């Protein structure tokens, strides 16, 4: 079977990376380069032309992870692709500064992706992120692969996706390693058939400790002074879904210490 697939393998269109059958990622997601609007429009247009010639009978859905500050406006990608009658679904590229999304948003993404790919063999899914959104795109893509049971193992799947981009890209986008938290969320996705409730509801959380395996250097110092904030829904305002700061380390506190980097 593998020989059969290899014999009939078709190179993906220029500008796209194939993750699995009918699932692609724009290669601009793996770069820190910044396009001006005209060059960006030309870049996207060229890829669409290659797509149309490569998949003559296909229909395309694009998932885009974008800046939250401009959510009220149509994304630039959606504006460009509307010319080609391609549907774009915009998602945030972070949640309160973390490369994760709420479980409700993750659930919507997974159901939408699964539904689109299951509707027909001519449906193609393409993923895109604006600058700084690679970490959440990688997480969501790994979740989709697990959700569709195309891969097994949360850490293995997430690492496979991250390997598609230069290793230093993760460090450029975030001073902290996002993978442990992302793997925890991927466990929820993998165990959805075991749990009676999906997506899982909010539950009380007890935070025993925070472990920094690598101390980041901030503000040109040889270390950092970590201040922790916990966001969530206010239990006293059940109808308000907007996140609130439930806890924050006081900035003037004996607990705010300076942790120095060590030289190995």
Residues catalogued as catalytic: 129
Q: Strand pairing of 223-224 and 87-92?
A: unpaired
- Tokens 């590229």: give the residue: 93
Count of CB atoms situated within 10 Å of the CB of 101: 22
Number of H helices and number of E strands within the chain? 8, 9
Query: How many Å apart are CA 78 and CA 58, to the nearest integer?
Result: 19
Distance separating alpha carbons of residues 113 and 116, to the nearest angstrom: 5
| Whole-number Å distance between alpha carbons of 33 and 9 | 30
Q: What is the rounded CA–CA span in Å between residue 83 and residue 41?
A: 11
């Amino acid at each position: 079977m593998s020989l059969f697939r290899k014999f009939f393998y078709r190179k993906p269109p220029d500008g796209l990376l194939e993750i699995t059958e009918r699932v692609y990622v724009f290669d601009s997601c793996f770069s820190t380069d910044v396009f001006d609007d005209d060059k960006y429009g030309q870049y996207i247009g060229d890829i669409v032309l290659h797509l149309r010639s490569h998949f003559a009978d296909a229909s395309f859905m694009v998932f885009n992870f974008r800046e939250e500050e401009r959510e009220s406006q149509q994304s630039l990608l959606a504006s460009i692709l509307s010319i080609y009658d391609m549907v774009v679904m915009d998602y945030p590229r972070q949640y309160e500064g973390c490369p994760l999304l709420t479980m409700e948003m993750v659930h919507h993404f997974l159901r939408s992706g699964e539904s689109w790919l299951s509707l027909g063999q001519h449906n193609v899914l393409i993923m895109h992120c604006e600058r700084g959104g690679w970490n959440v795109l990688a997480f969501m893509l790994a979740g989709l692969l697990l959700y569709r049971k195309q891969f097994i193992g949360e850490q293995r799947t997430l690492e496979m996706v991250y390997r598609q981009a230069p290793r230093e890209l993760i460090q450029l986008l975030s001073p902290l390693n996002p993978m442990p938290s992302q793997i925890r969320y991927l466990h929820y996705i993998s165990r959805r058939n075991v749990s009676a409730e999906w997506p899982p509801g909010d539950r009380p959380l007890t935070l025993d400790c925070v472990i920094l395996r690598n101390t980041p250097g901030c503000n040109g110092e040889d270390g950092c002074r970590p201040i922790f904030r916990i966001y969530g829904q206010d239990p006293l305002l059940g109808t308000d879904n907007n996140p609130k700061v439930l806890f924050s380390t006081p900035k003037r506190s004996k607990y705010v210490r300076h942790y120095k980097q060590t030289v190995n």
